Structure 1
């Protein structure tokens, strides 16, 4: 190879790497994971809790911000905990809360 050809290779390689980085970063930004867009509150849930500790319960149905049903109980001490909406004890708590609200 001549000197001109040897000098062009590093420049060409640098340009190719830059182009590859640009294409990769643009592709990554366009195909960002959906999980980053979701705003689910409950990453971990409890299977049961003593109902006497609960002050209120909020049930959030699946929607645009989170694709799962979430049950957040606010305890009498102010702490918020997530409950598993599929657990039988949690279903009973929700049912009792709904019945209590409908009777008022």
Structure 2
């Protein structure tokens, strides 16, 4: 094997699964498979909203629970989720 072939092979093996975009890592697939439809508003500590992109056509809303830090995907079409998002946006607006 030539040196160029070995270097190319090692280069391909070191490419990470996600691609770096600034400080964030973009994963090439949807993160949310199962969506929570039941209201859990009081249990939510933090919300993360991932807009649709070329890897996932769905808007993903991921809630981190206060108690144990578990992450749960929320149904963005559920009325209670829309209210929680509106409330969080209002809190962030000065």
Cα displacement string for residues 38-57 of structure 1 (whole angstroms, at most 9, x for unaligned residues): 51010010113322211110
Structure 2: gaps spanning 5 or more residues: 1-27
Query: Normalised by the size of structure 2, how large is the TM-score?
Result: 0.65
Deviations 1:72-99 (A, max 9, x none): 0001120000000001011101111111
Unaligned segments of structure 1, at least 5 residues: 1-37
Whichever structure has more helix as a proportion of its residues is 1
Q: Is the 8 A contact 1:74 1:80 kept in 2?
A: yes
Paired residues in the alignment total: 67
Q: Does 1:72 align with 2:62?
A: yes
1:1-104 mapped onto 2 (5 Å cutoff): 38-76=28-66, 77-103=68-94
Q: Pairwise CA RMSD of aligned residues?
A: 1.6
Q: Report how far residue 64 of structure 1 moved.
A: 1.4
Counterpart CA distance in 1 for 2:93 and 2:47 is 14
Q: Report the 3-state secondary structure (helix = DSSP H, G, I; strand = E; otherwise coil) of the residue aligned with 1:98.
A: helix
> Runs (4+) of structure 1 moved beyond 6 Å?
none
